[in-house]
Chain A
Amino acid sequence: MLALYGTAAELRGFDLNQAPHVARVRSGATGPENIADTVLLRSTKEIEPAVNAGFTAAILLSDGEASELSGLNAFSRLMVLPKRFDYLAEGDILGVQPKTRKFRTLYRRASKHNSFLVTERCNHYCLMCSQPPRDIDDRWILDEIRASIPLMDRETRSFAFTGGEPLLDWQDFISILKDCRDLLPNTSVHVLTNGRAFARSEIVSKWTGVHHPNLSVGIPLYSSVDHIHDYVVQARGAFDETVLGILKLKDQRQRVEIRVVLHAATAPRIRETCQWLARNLPFVDHVALMGLENTGFALANQDVLWIDPVDYADGLAEGVDILAAAKVHVSVYNLQRCLLKKSVWPYAVQSISDWKNGYVEQCDVCIEKPRCSGFFTSGRPRQSRGISSILST
């Protein structure tokens, strides 16, 4: 699994009081095109050609005291990063905080699953949150994103904005969507939000007014009953606002995906939830039914969240059938094929992220392995008693 954040061993030439700095990784094959372009040095041999190419900023991958190397003085800005970041490549983008020497990989050009965390703040406190919220002033992140957008490859197929709740500072966030529209017109953008902001018509109209050619929003809805959804997200009144938000977005023909995470508070009613979606919101663009990732708050709340997927497989199959018959586009994520009724297989998606697709012993001889989602490799996966090899279909 990739390390996406760390601390630089050394930073040189940065203004310590400066706001977060954004650097674009360059291989050195061609010269810099932007003030943010920073050459990645994998060995000392690469120093001279990089200087000759005109680079004034560099990243050195080293686990030792490499910065004493004399040739490095030619760079006005230097970052020394641990060698485990050697996956960095041409076009990737890093965010650096000079004061703390902390840095994060914000964007990997080769990845299909880039996402920008917009804030750690949230007005929900979901039982299974994989990104537990923190009540801190992190509005600087928006500046970092604003600086990153112009540096991204214009050929990027898609990326996501996540949180926290990205729409807490909705005016700033929507202005970033305008940058995406102007600078990355061919890139589809997916925003994960709890949707409550859209209960306000004003926000929906600003959102719609961006006229982004390829913008969609993913909104979790955990139940067809108010208090169950409110319990899962630990916020009273959430269900009403979220549903209103979805209605208002669709009324303006915005693209909306509904996400349902399956755990003990949601899965026993999944058939009813799917039926409710099919009857009341059949116009949504996608329904994603997702197995639980056992990480973040889900670990702390295992006692109330754990349910063996084999125990809701029947309800899930019926729910998927109801949605499919109503011509709703439905997909199932994160659940292994051996735990799903066969009727669900055509809807089971292999993977959505880089950090999934682990396999266990039973998978070795399973003929469905090439089509299976596999397991999360993050968190502390819990294994269903139903995990078994499929030997014939």
Chain B
Amino acid sequence: MARFQATDAFHVRETPSELLPFRFARHGSDNFLVSNMVGDFVSLTGDELVRLVDLRLAPGDGLYEKAYQNHLISRQGQKAQQQILAMRLRSRMAFLRQPSQLHIFVVSLRCEHSCPYCQVSRQSTDKSRYDMSESTANQALKIALESPSSRIKIEFQGGEPLLNFPLIEKIVHVAKSEGARIGKKIDFVITSNLALLDENILAFCKAHDVLLSTSLDGPAVLHNKNRPRPGGNSHELAVKGIRRAQEVLGKERVGALMTTTEASLNQVEEIIDEYVTLELDGIFLRPLSPYGFAVKTKQFHRYDANEWLEFYERGLRYILDLNHNGLQFFEFYASLVLKRMLSDKPIGYVDLRSPAGIGLGALVYNYDGKVFASDEGRMLAEMGDNTFELGHVGDATYRSLVLSEKLIDLISSSLTQCAPECSDCVFESHCGADPVYHHATQNDAVGLKPFSEFCARQKGVMGLLVRLLQESPRDAAILRQWGGM
């Protein structure tokens, strides 16, 4: 049996190691977070990082093994390390193969709410002025159906889209028959405050598999403060609407979104409890966006990224505790980021991808027929900034919109893969270009990232998740489940 060779016979020290691309950031006093080309994380000490960069490592020394299994190095003559990275990168970017899956129809800009953080809506009874016409809807639908994805989602937005429900019915009918004719699967969702929800609308949603998405900011006092309407009963109507929709459509067919205002900051637990009580399966802890009335009414600058991150972390920890106590409940933003950190599923979430999701991920058809590259883009237009206006349904085609010089410029100039501060950021693989945000806040699609609250929030959330994954096994077990969903 002398034919067996010892471990070091396979170290093959004469074959040099080679560096593969990686990024790093300081993470604690003498620790660095290092990520490979597809965003797997590993912690190295300062000394280890320097040795890695100098390739002062060898099989058996521990650092070699750490670097090799994390695809930071390969060996001369080997192919598998690079092949794995190529395959995984291909998978991660595969969302590009299904372009423009989301089509937002702003069927009315009117709303009976008057929320100070609202981005666009109008209180008006002038239907002719703020409702989408049938001919505009048909032209928009024609463009939406031209997009090459085999499955698209049509989202009805407002204002309050239920104020123009007859148009929604017409669009759904035409879209379904046209979709069936050309072999395109179409999902529908109505984003509504549910105040106007009635049995007729619910029956329609049930018959046509339409999802409902609503706003719920938390307990009644907070919600009604954030979302005033005549009668001050927004919360009551939203809760009633959610319950009724759950009964008629099923629990998984209705979702809710919250927006964080200054008043939310000290009551994240109460906000989450509200969602738990309503038997919603999770919550999306969302910051305010710098668009529309949120800027005009000075809501936006009432708290900064750090305050929001504190709020977020408290909320996440509270949700993890709920899970430890046996309740399955998600924080959807964390889930999204974890899917990107722990799998190579092509996540084309429009706000968190590069190339950016403007146009390529979503198109917005405004009530007046103008087409925008994103929902936030049309909000900027309401403030007089037409940067993200791509054309008008009257004379545009899908190709003319998506291949417009304007869109190509905006997307290609904002790629995180090569933007300053992004291209060497340890979180690049999981982040996204947000040209609309940076245009809105810095008047530049790329923006200076050190001044970007988007960047600060992203780094904060991702840093927190990595820390929990690495240092808290009990939380990590829950977070891995979210990432695998």
Tell me, yes or no, whether A binds B.
Answer: yes
A residues near B (Cβ < 8 Å) are: 125, 127, 224-228, 230-231, 234, 236, 239-241, 243-244, 247, 251, 265, 269, 272, 276, 278-280, 282, 297, 300-301, 318, 321-322, 325-327
Whether A247 lies near B83 (C-beta < 8 A) is yes
A272 to chain B, nearest CB (A): 6
Q: Which residues of B contact A280 (CB under 8 A)?
A: 84, 88
Whether A325 lies near B484 (C-beta < 8 A) is yes
B residues near A (Cβ < 8 Å) are: 1, 3-5, 7, 9-12, 40, 59-60, 64-65, 68-69, 75, 77-80, 83-84, 87-88, 342-344, 473, 477, 480-481, 483-484
Whether A230 lies near B10 (C-beta < 8 A) is yes
Whether B59 lies near A227 (C-beta < 8 A) is yes
Q: Which residues of B contact A127 (CB under 8 A)?
A: 4
CA distance A225 to B60 in the complex (A): 10
With beta carbons under 8 angstroms apart, the residue of B5, B69, B477 that contacts A234 is B5
A231 and B10 contact, Cβ closer than 8 Å, known pairs A224-B69, A240-B80, A243-B80: yes
Return the chain B residue nearest A318 by Cβ: B473
Whether B68 lies near A279 (C-beta < 8 A) is no
CA distance A300 to B4 in the complex (A): 10
A225 and B69 contact, Cβ closer than 8 Å, known pairs A243-B80, A327-B484: yes
Whether B10 lies near A247 (C-beta < 8 A) is no
With beta carbons under 8 angstroms apart, the residue of B60, B80, B477, B483 that contacts A244 is B80
Q: Which residues of A contact B483 (CB under 8 A)?
A: 325-326
Q: Which residues of B contact A297 (CB under 8 A)?
A: 1, 4
Whether B78 lies near A247 (C-beta < 8 A) is no
Interface centre among A265, A279, A327 (most CB of B within 10 A): A279
* 9 residue pairs bridging A and B, Cβ less than 8 Å apart: A127-B4, A225-B65, A234-B5, A236-B12, A247-B87, A251-B87, A279-B40, A280-B84, A326-B342
With beta carbons under 8 angstroms apart, the residue of B7, B11, B484 that contacts A326 is B484
CA distance A321 to B475 in the complex (A): 13
Interface centre among A243, A297, A301 (most CB of B within 10 A): A243
Whether B12 lies near A227 (C-beta < 8 A) is yes
Q: Which residues of A contact B477 (CB under 8 A)?
A: 321, 325
A120 to chain B, nearest CB (A): 16
CA distance A103 to B356 in the complex (A): 68
Whether B481 lies near A325 (C-beta < 8 A) is yes
Whether A226 lies near B342 (C-beta < 8 A) is no
Return the chain A residue nearest B7 by Cβ: A231
A204 to chain B, nearest CB (A): 13
With beta carbons under 8 angstroms apart, the residue of A244, A265, A279, A325 that contacts B83 is A244
Which 7 residue pairs across A and B have the least CB separation, nearest first?
Answer: A325-B480, A243-B80, A224-B69, A230-B10, A231-B10, A325-B484, A227-B10
CA distance A81 to B473 in the complex (A): 60
Q: Which residues of B contact A321 (CB under 8 A)?
A: 477, 480
Return the chain B residue nearest A224 by Cβ: B69
A326 and B343 contact, Cβ closer than 8 Å, known pairs A230-B10, A234-B5, A321-B477: yes
Q: Which residues of A contact B84 (CB under 8 A)?
A: 243, 247, 280
Q: Which residues of B contact A125 (CB under 8 A)?
A: 3-4
Q: Which residues of B contact A326 (CB under 8 A)?
A: 342-343, 480, 483-484
A307 to chain B, nearest CB (A): 15
Whether A300 lies near B1 (C-beta < 8 A) is yes
Q: Which residues of A contact B88 (CB under 8 A)?
A: 280
Q: Which residues of A contact B77 (CB under 8 A)?
A: 240
Q: Which residues of A contact B80 (CB under 8 A)?
A: 239-241, 243-244, 247
Q: Which residues of A contact B40 (CB under 8 A)?
A: 279
Q: Which residues of B contact A227 (CB under 8 A)?
A: 7, 10-12, 59-60
B75 to chain A, nearest CB (A): 7
Q: Which residues of B contact A322 (CB under 8 A)?
A: 480
Whether B68 lies near A225 (C-beta < 8 A) is yes
A279 and B342 contact, Cβ closer than 8 Å, known pairs A227-B59, A247-B87: yes
B11 to chain A, nearest CB (A): 5
Interface centre among A127, A231, A239, A272 (most CB of B within 10 A): A231
A363 to chain B, nearest CB (A): 31
CA distance A85 to B473 in the complex (A): 54
B140 to chain A, nearest CB (A): 38
Whether B78 lies near A234 (C-beta < 8 A) is no
CA distance A301 to B83 in the complex (A): 34
Given contacts A224-B69, A228-B10, 17 further A-B contacts (CB under 8 A): A125-B3, A225-B59, A227-B11, A231-B5, A234-B4, A236-B12, A240-B80, A269-B65, A276-B69, A280-B88, A282-B343, A297-B4, A300-B4, A322-B480, A325-B484, A326-B483, A327-B484
Return the chain B residue nearest A279 by Cβ: B40
B427 to chain A, nearest CB (A): 17
CA distance A314 to B100 in the complex (A): 46
B381 to chain A, nearest CB (A): 42
Whether B75 lies near A226 (C-beta < 8 A) is yes
Q: Which residues of B contact A269 (CB under 8 A)?
A: 65
Q: Which residues of A contact B481 (CB under 8 A)?
A: 325
Interface centre among A227, A244, A251, A318 (most CB of B within 10 A): A227
A240 and B480 contact, Cβ closer than 8 Å, known pairs A282-B343, A301-B4: no
Whether B69 lies near A272 (C-beta < 8 A) is yes
Return the chain B residue nearest A321 by Cβ: B477
